[in-house]
Structure 1
Amino acid sequence: MEGVSAATARQAWMLRMYTFAIYTTQALLVSYFPLYFLSKGFNEQQIGVLYSSGPLISILANLLMGAASDKYRTIRKVLILLLFGQLVAAACLLPASSFWAVVTIMFFFYFCQTPMVPLTDSLIVLASPHIKQPYALIRIFGSIGFCVSAYFLGLILKAVGTQWTVAVCIATIIATLLIAFLMRDYQGTMRKMDFSGFFRLVRKPDVVLFFSIVLIVSIAHRMNEGFLGVTMNKMGASDTLVGAAWSMSSLSEIPILYLMGKYGHRYKELPLLFFASVLYALRFWLNGHITTPYGFVLTQLLHSVTFGIFFSTALRYVAQIIPDEYRSSGMALFAIVWTGFAGVISGLFGGYLYQQYGSGLFFDVAAALALLAGLMFIGKHMLARR
């Protein structure tokens, strides 16, 4: 019995370490890749195109990888394959200099990178009853990884130069790959996968409405994520200060994820999503009226009660409306909305809006979208009660 307990504890720590590692790479992509592209001479609209290329390809990538995972009943092997693909793409990115060469490489890189988080979420959800840990208490280590990496990788890049961003990314991918080989695979129900049933499920009005509202919040979230570093850079912020802002956001979400893991089930999902959306609106409105880069470090603390509550609660709601046999596909669908469609719209529309009208109107539009989504969540809740 002790041996089983020790093995379970070991696998729980492997999953924590793996989650920490994939969010290390995520921190680089979110915090420093826009600055890396800026240093290569690309303008805001070109960065918007690069930023939207990942979400565009993620729509196909998440569908394919989620379906492959469900069909072949393995998440770990799919993750390892995707990590190898990221490694190849990052190596190709090192010598690339022309804009369209970088776009092409980033398409492939994002094809392999964007399914990582939803597949990892599926793995954590399926592993949870086996390792006796709730989802949020494993996902916390992703926040810790993002927080630590965003700050300390910023210090490293400040010392060696922004041009080393891709080389650092290669190192984080290799570390993640090594941990992935030591992890266990976890599987869902033994019922046969029926894609016709899945497509019937996602055409239900309640499911369609929920994902439509999530899309509105996602666009606002991705607008902030894609252009926060650029805005700070234009105000004179160093790479370290940009990293500090992102570190504050991840650090702030750790206690919230812990509390959501312990007590979140006591509260209804839709009112919680309304609350998070309204605070998203406040956060983005404040971003639109800040005149010093240090102000963004403070507003990023609101990441705790916006993303921390929204993401964990939305996944809980998805787990209720999507059965276990479609778990990876359901998470992939969530990722397609959260990352794919939202990323394309926020990158192309947001890039144009930012370049033409500046950061003030840009963040005001993001705030308006978040407020609209909040009103729709609470409206949906009130209709369901009636």
Structure 2
Amino acid sequence: MKGSKKTLRIFWTLFAFNALFYVPGATFGAYIGVYYRSKGMNVSQIGLLSAIGPLLALILQPLWGILSDRRGRHMAVLRLALAGSAAGVLCYYRADTFLLFAACVSVYSFFNCAVGPIGDSIVVDMALENGLQFSSIRLGGTLAYAATVVFAGMYLKTNPTASFGITAAVWCIMLLVTLFMNKEVRKYKCKKR
């Protein structure tokens, strides 16, 4: 890749952000069903728990988008969602019943459903503004997921609750990465209709 030092720094920052975004899917999403099973949840309960997140996302993603657009503070909303995702996944350490797991899924999903759309919006805008191809940045996610899911499976087999701490740590690292993105993000203002 050719470009100025600034362009290269932006590329690798966006690449890292995108790569990290897919790690929780490999450390948490891929194995949470197995964890539920180990805690005595039956197939119906696991199915219900798995449905909570997508159902909440249908309602909450547009609301997060409206909040982000109306305030013109995409990065602040993204940071809130990242911090909430980190805190939300840690709730699983206290859960051992269906109702507690449902509460954990709800808290985690409330914040987590905002990270992807708002993060992608910021990354795509920054890529376009700096003449970078999103497809090259997106490759970070593919590589990170593929590598992480293999190693996570080996480690989580004997340490299943480590998933929550690892996932929370990744969300926190992503939050730190946004500090390097902040100076490059355009300020948006939606027109009131």
Tell me the residue number matched to 1:76: 75
Q: In the superposition, relative to structure 1, how do residues 37 and 23 fare at CA in structure 2: closer, same or farther (>3 Å)? A: same
Tell me the residue number matched to 2:56: 57
Aligned residue among 172, 175, 178 for 1:174: 172
Tell me the residue number matched to 1:26: 25
Q: In the superposition, relative to structure 1, how do residues 27 and 193 fare at CA in structure 2: closer, same or farther (>3 Å)? A: farther
Q: Per-residue displacement from partner, 1:98-126 (whole Å, max 9, x unpaired)?
A: 11011012101011111211112211221
Q: In the superposition, relative to structure 1, how do residues 192 and 156 fare at CA in structure 2: closer, same or farther (>3 Å)? A: same
Tell me the residue number matched to 1:48: 47
Q: Per-residue displacement from partner, 1:354-384 (whole Å, max 9, x unpaired)?
A: xxxxxxxxxxxxxxxxxxxxxxxxxxxxxxx
Structure 1 residues without counterparts, runs of 5 or longer: 195-386
Deviation at 1:74, TM superposition (A): 2.7
Q: Per-residue displacement from partner, 1:176-229 (whole Å, max 9, x unpaired)?
A: 2221222235348766154xxxxxxxxxxxxxxxxxxxxxxxxxxxxxxxxxxx
Tell me the residue number matched to 2:147: 148
Tell me the residue number matched to 1:377: none
Q: Verify the 8 A CA contact 2:56 2:109 in the aligned structure 1.
A: yes
Tell me the residue number matched to 2:112: 113
Structure 2 residue 33 is the aligned partner of structure 1 residue 15: no
Distance between the aligned counterparts of 1:187 and 1:70, measured in 2? 12
Distance between the aligned counterparts of 2:148 and 2:91, measured in 1? 23
Tell me the residue number matched to 1:321: none
Tell me the residue number matched to 2:99: 100
Q: Per-residue displacement from partner, 1:255-295 (whole Å, max 9, x unpaired)?
A: xxxxxxxxxxxxxxxxxxxxxxxxxxxxxxxxxxxxxxxxx
Distance between the aligned counterparts of 2:168 and 2:189, measured in 1? 37
Tell me the residue number matched to 2:126: 127
The structure in which a higher percent of residues are helix is: 1
| Aligned partner of residue 94 in structure 1, secondary structure | helix
User: Match of 2:100, as an amino acid?
Assistant: A
Output the aligned Cα RMSD: 2.0
Tell me the residue number matched to 1:138: 137
Tell me the residue number matched to 1:244: none
TM-score calculated relative to the size of structure 2: 0.89
Q: Verify the 8 A CA contact 1:73 1:187 in the aligned structure 2.
A: no
Deviation at 1:18, TM superposition (A): 0.8
Q: Verify the 8 A CA contact 1:8 1:130 in the aligned structure 2.
A: no
Aligned residue among 177, 180, 183 for 2:181: 183
Q: Per-residue displacement from partner, 1:7-61 (whole Å, max 9, x unpaired)?
A: 2321221111011111101222331111111111111111111111111111222
5 Å matches for 1:156-235? 156-158=155-157, 160-184=158-182, 186-187=185-186, 192-194=191-193
Distance between the aligned counterparts of 2:190 and 2:80, measured in 1? 25
Q: Per-residue displacement from partner, 1:332-367 (whole Å, max 9, x unpaired)?
A: xxxxxxxxxxxxxxxxxxxxxxxxxxxxxxxxxxxx
Q: In the superposition, relative to structure 1, how do residues 32 and 193 fare at CA in structure 2: closer, same or farther (>3 Å)? A: farther
| Aligned partner of residue 42 in structure 1, secondary structure | coil
Aligned-pair identity (%): 26
Q: Verify the 8 A CA contact 1:126 1:188 in the aligned structure 2.
A: no
Q: Verify the 8 A CA contact 1:57 1:111 in the aligned structure 2.
A: yes
Q: In the superposition, relative to structure 1, how do residues 143 and 153 fare at CA in structure 2: closer, same or farther (>3 Å)? A: same
Q: Verify the 8 A CA contact 1:54 1:106 in the aligned structure 2.
A: yes
Distance between the aligned counterparts of 2:187 and 2:133, measured in 1? 16
Tell me the residue number matched to 1:206: none
User: Match of 1:141, as an amino acid?
Assistant: G
Tell me the residue number matched to 1:35: 34
User: Match of 1:44, as an amino acid?
Assistant: V
